[in-house]
Structure 1
Amino acid sequence: MNYTLNQLQIFLKIVETKSITKASELLFLTQPAVSIQLKNFQNQFDIPLTEVIGRQLYVTPFGEEIAEASKRILKEVEAMKHKTMAYKGFLTGQLNIAVVSTGKYVMPYFLSGFLKTHSEIDLKMDVTNRYKVLKSLEQNEVDFALVSVMPNNLNVASIPLMQNKLFLIGNTTRANELSYKNNELILEDLPLIYREKGSATRQAMEDYLSVRQVNTNKKIQLSTNEAIKQAVISGLGYSVMPLIGLKNELRNKELTIIPAQGLPVTSFWNLIWLKGKKFTPAATAYINYLKTKKDAIILENFSWHENFQKP
């Protein structure tokens, strides 16, 4: 057999997505390139790895076994790379981090300096919803998770990184449409846009409205903060959102923060891990890095956020 590591990686992505189109998008390759590599890989086996029924691609039982073997081969190759660098005196390994979607505005700044110093450490960061983040942590698939609401069902340790402030936002040109009673905003009149259920942002928004005994007449649900931002900019409605992801839109006056009693809702971004977890040298070094550099990172990159005052 004369397969390449590139073919193994492409085949695994096809197995994962069950689609040549999706695999090509995730690998930043053209569909023909992925198809050719799958064909070249298949030609080395007498038994089919995949089959297409209708328009759906399926992985055969033999293909599943080859996929598992491919994972082991690639894992061993990765281990050889790290061992080589370790013999040269470099800190090596891989950091695995799961991040809730809004955390994408936070986590990279707490990683860049560390990875520049330790260039031989690989990073795998999964940005997804809170449910999947906590599931990955619970199943010990990641070293760390970044959350803004601590889990109740997991025994975790944590490092608090920085504040998470949530404000009511709206389209700048629609401020004159707001209604007030006794100088207090009437929230019931607003078409409110929510994140999907399970989101920490959704929970914070619902808790805020519940405390104020607000029952909204119109509710819109979108699955990402980016989608909500665009919906609010378009004038579709209003939402309670984390300040951390609004810097450019506020500066460009596409969005405005609407004063409302009880806001901002404030929590903390926490990097968490399972208590008792045995860290790799890379993970241990990263914890030590955060303990010594966290305040300087916040001062350099997030002073605007920490010092932001409610209107």
Structure 2
Amino acid sequence: MHHASFRQLEALTLVARHESVSRAADALHVTQPAISLQLRTLEDICGIALTRKVGRNIQLTAAGEVMLEFSERILRLWEQAADELAALRGVTSGTLRIGAVTTAEHLLPPLLVPFTMERPDVRLKLQVGNRAEIVNMLARHEIDLAIMGTPPRELRTNAARFARHPMAFVASPGHQLMKKKKLTLNDVMAANLLVRERGSGTRTAIERLFREAGHPLNFGSEVSSNEAIKRMVSAGLGIGFLSVHACGLEFEAGLLAILPMQEHPVEADWHVMHLTDQPIPKVAAAFQDYVIEHGQELVERELEGAYKQSGRRRKPRADGAAAAE
């Protein structure tokens, strides 16, 4: 088989990921004919069809699946080679490929900004999605690190806790429950409680909270987006159970506030993880170490601001974390 180029291998991987020549072209910032030409050239080199058109989508043939696996490995090794050479020059560089569940989207900026500012040669590729999407990206080696609440059981991962994850019941500042001094889960159950879909971190946490209190899992509505829940709750259409990280801007704007409940905050752990079956690039290892060392401190700064904007404050707990007052 004649030599193929990295551009041809990259075109194949992007077409496979997006199932579309046009979306692959957008990802590479080239024209559709350029992607089609790369695919045709690669098929000529391989001597067999690698893709087929199914409706409006492009799918891989059996040969394409084989070629995709090797293409991803070759491109990943090339990136690692560049990182190793940079390390020999004393430079931390390369592409930091990281994925995070949607709730962690608001958590990442205070972690990524100082890390990348200290390392100007590091490029960032951030993927945000629901838990299933991030787990799939990790399994397919599309990302090197993942940030989520609970490590996936279906994959063998090396996971490390780096910060606490506070969650709370939130409502519009003008909601009638905001006037009560002491709220219970019974009060919340009587309202229209909006929760995330099954499998999400906040959904798992609230289900555990209700079960431990002996309450049935009767929720008002299930919504697959933090943003949708925040918009509905700020409009007075119910109460939400969300990550405090995700509500900072709404607290600041006076659109949401934390309900005064004894159960607050409900806390879990944030984990950073990678697959155990292969070494991760040096830039990913450096970020993982940075998050483990500085994550809790940086997250605490963000949370102090969020609680202050919501009209509440945090006090130290015996375990070194903080609770809301």
Identify unmatched segments of 5+ residues in structure 1. Answer: none
Partner of 2:316: none
Q: TM-score, normalised by structure 1?
A: 0.75
Worse-superposed segment, 193-202 or 78-87: 78-87
Matches within 5 A, 1:1-311: 5-24=6-25, 27=27, 29=29, 34-44=31-41, 45-46=43-44, 47-93=48-94, 95-131=96-132, 133=134, 144-149=145-150, 158-161=160-163, 163-173=164-174, 175-176=175-176, 186-215=187-216, 219-272=220-273, 281-290=282-291, 293-294=294-295, 297-298=298-299, 301-305=302-306, 308-309=312-313, 310=324
Identify unmatched segments of 5+ residues in structure 2. Answer: 314-323
RMSD over aligned Cα atoms: 4.0
Q: TM-score, normalised by structure 2?
A: 0.73
Structure 1 residues 83 and 287: alpha-carbon distance in aligned structure 2, compared to 1, 3 A threshold: closer
Aligned pairs, number: 305
Residue 15 of structure 1 and its aligned partner are, at CA, apart by: 1.3
Residue 178 of structure 1 and its aligned partner are, at CA, apart by: 8.0
**1:124-145 Cα shifts (integer Å, max 9, x gaps):** 4443334555677789886544
**1:13-37 Cα shifts (integer Å, max 9, x gaps):** 1112222354356x175xxx55212
Counterpart secondary structure, 1:239? strand
Counterpart secondary structure, 2:238? coil
Alpha-carbon distance between aligned partners in 2 of 1:138 and 1:70, rounded to the nearest angstrom: 16
Structure 1 residues 278 and 297: alpha-carbon distance in aligned structure 2, compared to 1, 3 A threshold: same
The sequence identity of aligned pairs, in percent, is 24
**1:172-193 Cα shifts (integer Å, max 9, x gaps):** 44x1378979975622321111
Matched to 2:32, the amino acid is: S
**1:251-302 Cα shifts (integer Å, max 9, x gaps):** 2222232223422212333435678986654455445534654465346544
Alpha-carbon distance between aligned partners in 1 of 2:142 and 2:10, rounded to the nearest angstrom: 20
Residue 305 of structure 1 and its aligned partner are, at CA, apart by: 4.0
Matched to 1:229, the amino acid is: K
Matched to 2:187, the amino acid is: I
Retained in 2: the 8 A contact 1:145–1:271? yes
Retained in 2: the 8 A contact 1:158–1:273? no
Structure 1 residues 87 and 203: alpha-carbon distance in aligned structure 2, compared to 1, 3 A threshold: closer
Alpha-carbon distance between aligned partners in 2 of 1:76 and 1:212, rounded to the nearest angstrom: 51
Counterpart secondary structure, 1:186? helix
Alpha-carbon distance between aligned partners in 1 of 2:150 and 2:49, rounded to the nearest angstrom: 47
Residue 239 of structure 1 and its aligned partner are, at CA, apart by: 1.4
Alpha-carbon distance between aligned partners in 1 of 2:278 and 2:50, rounded to the nearest angstrom: 37
Counterpart secondary structure, 1:111? helix
Partner of 2:320: none
Residue 195 of structure 1 and its aligned partner are, at CA, apart by: 0.8
Matched to 2:162, the amino acid is: P
